[in-house]
Amino acid sequence: MKEDYRKLPVAEKLSNEEEVVWINPKHVPFAKSSLDIHMADIEDAEMRLARFASFIMKCFPETCADNGLIESALTPIPKMQEALKEAYGADIPGQLFLKQDSHLAIAGSVKARGGIYEVLKHTEELAFEAGLLRPEDDYARLAEPECREFFSQYTIQVGSTGNLGLSIGISSAAIGYKVIVHMSADARQWKKDMLRAHGVIVKEYESDYSEAVKEGRRLSDADPKSYFVDDENSVNLFMGYAVAARRLKKQLEDREVMVDEEHPLFVYIPCGVGGAPGGVTFGMKEVWGDYVHCFFVEPVQAPAMLLGMVSGLHNDVCVQDIGLTGLTHADGLAVGRPSGFVGKVMEPLLSGEFTLADKWLYEYMRIFLDAEGIFLEPSACAAFAGPIKLLAREETRTYIKENGLEDKMDRATHIAWATGGSLVPDDIREEYKNTYL
């Protein structure tokens, strides 16, 4: 009986809002994982983004410096590594980096990867069908008035806790679409205001994210000229996120950081519905196989992906089923029900998960800002729970031992995946800096 999951010790801890460290028992050597998606799918997404580069530069001049590539820096954060040792006694062996998706162009969060990719893919399909574009054309022509006029007949809709809405909303509006974003109760006011300033229609819901998605999907399905970006099931979003991995490989090579049998890579990514961390993880496993160890981090009140994986029920279970509210200060992670598609793909790939209480989001944010002078939104700061707990908790110490990594840890690389923050307005930053739970 699947209901038995409630009796598992980890499920009991989750329902008691305890912080847990979970090692995925279904994780297998990469060669033995059989997936329906492959490197070729990532390459297809990469090539599509390359075809769109001239158009991206036209619509978003801030991407010109990078030739229309939407990519973030990989930054060593030695002062944070030192600060974590001082604050928590976290002696992190090897080198700690930050992947600054918090500063991605256009959307200021990891959603600039998947969200914009899916909108572009849809745009390409519409333009091909209408004969506005051929694959060999310069895609910059799609920014011309007659193309914008064409796109304005179509609607893009999405359900969001905030950042996906910003990504889809800002990018779709710039292309010329009509956009409707269905925002859950967790969404912050400033995100709604910013979208409205871009001409996006924002519908607000009293209910949580799953309800906003459901209603958005229903309304979009009723309109033949409307396209719904389905965060809970979208393979396109997932592939847009997965593109990150090969670019990261190049960034590590440029810094002469090795990832191989003797040099393990640990990556810690905040998780909501699972698409962003799942896509990035899928890409990294394709690139590095067993040399990369991927961990997700979720809030104690919204461990949707963890509950789905622990129970094996994926999107047939939600955090409310074990008595949690799903309410968290990590608005980007405020998801009660995980993506079923992503959870299944992650089963053989994910190393494990950490959950953390909300108060740490603000504390890590302040420590990080002090140490490195970089602002991150609270959701993104969840990533730091990974390096802090890796050697402090027995579960992960056992994982290191069982994977033969003990004597390699001094040569390890750790990446905290900073998923958002650069668009947060100054007054909200001040509010965050002064929030103590």
Contact residues: ligand PLP, CB under 6 A: 109-111, 163, 270-277, 332-333, 335, 377, 379-380, 419-420
Q: Are 88 and 384 in contact (CB under 8 A)?
A: no
Measured from the CB atom, the residue of 80 and 168 that comes closer to ligand PLP is 168
The backbone torsions φ and ψ at residue 26, rounded to the nearest 5 degrees and listed phi first, read -95, 0
Measured from the CB atom, the residue of 49 and 383 that comes closer to ligand PLP is 383
Taking phi over 0 as left and psi of -120 to 50 as alpha, with beta for the rest, 337 belongs to: beta
Measured from the CB atom, the residue of 58 and 111 that comes closer to ligand PLP is 111
Closest approach of ligand PLP to the CB of residue 339, in Å: 8
Closest approach of ligand PLP to the CB of residue 8, in Å: 23
Closest approach of ligand PLP to the CB of residue 160, in Å: 8
Closest approach of ligand PLP to the CB of residue 161, in Å: 7
**What element of type H or E holds 235?**
helix 235-242
Residues 6+ apart with CB under 8 A from 177: 119, 151, 152, 154, 155, 156
Measured from the CB atom, the residue of 287 and 382 that comes closer to ligand PLP is 382
Closest approach of ligand PLP to the CB of residue 274, in Å: 5
Closest approach of ligand PLP to the CB of residue 259, in Å: 23
Measured from the CB atom, the residue of 55 and 228 that comes closer to ligand PLP is 228
The conformation of residue 397, written as its DSSP 8-state character, comes to H
How many Å apart are CA 417 and CA 419, to the nearest integer? Answer: 6
Q: Are 111 and 240 in contact (CB under 8 A)?
A: no
Measured from the CB atom, the residue of 264 and 378 that comes closer to ligand PLP is 378
How many Å apart are CA 156 and CA 179, to the nearest integer? Answer: 5
How many Å apart are CA 418 and CA 280, to the nearest integer? Answer: 12
Measured from the CB atom, the residue of 110 and 294 that comes closer to ligand PLP is 110
Measured from the CB atom, the residue of 154 and 241 that comes closer to ligand PLP is 241
Closest approach of ligand PLP to the CB of residue 78, in Å: 24
Taking phi over 0 as left and psi of -120 to 50 as alpha, with beta for the rest, 109 belongs to: beta
What the block records as the tokens of 426 is 């100054």
Surface-to-core class of residue 36, CB atoms within 10 Å of its CB (0-12 exposed, 13-18 middle, 19+ buried): exposed
Q: Are 131 and 405 in contact (CB under 8 A)?
A: no
What the block records as the tokens of 291 is 């040399």
Closest approach of ligand PLP to the CB of residue 237, in Å: 7
- In the block, which residue shows the tokens 């910003």? 166
Q: Which residue in the shown chain puts its C-beta closest to ligand PLP?
A: 272
How many Å apart are CA 157 and CA 148, to the nearest integer? Answer: 18
Closest approach of ligand PLP to the CB of residue 296, in Å: 8
Measured from the CB atom, the residue of 335 and 365 that comes closer to ligand PLP is 335
How many Å apart are CA 310 and CA 228, to the nearest integer? Answer: 29
Q: Tell me how far CA of residue 402 lies from CA of 259, 399, 405, 407, in angstroms.
A: 19, 5, 8, 12
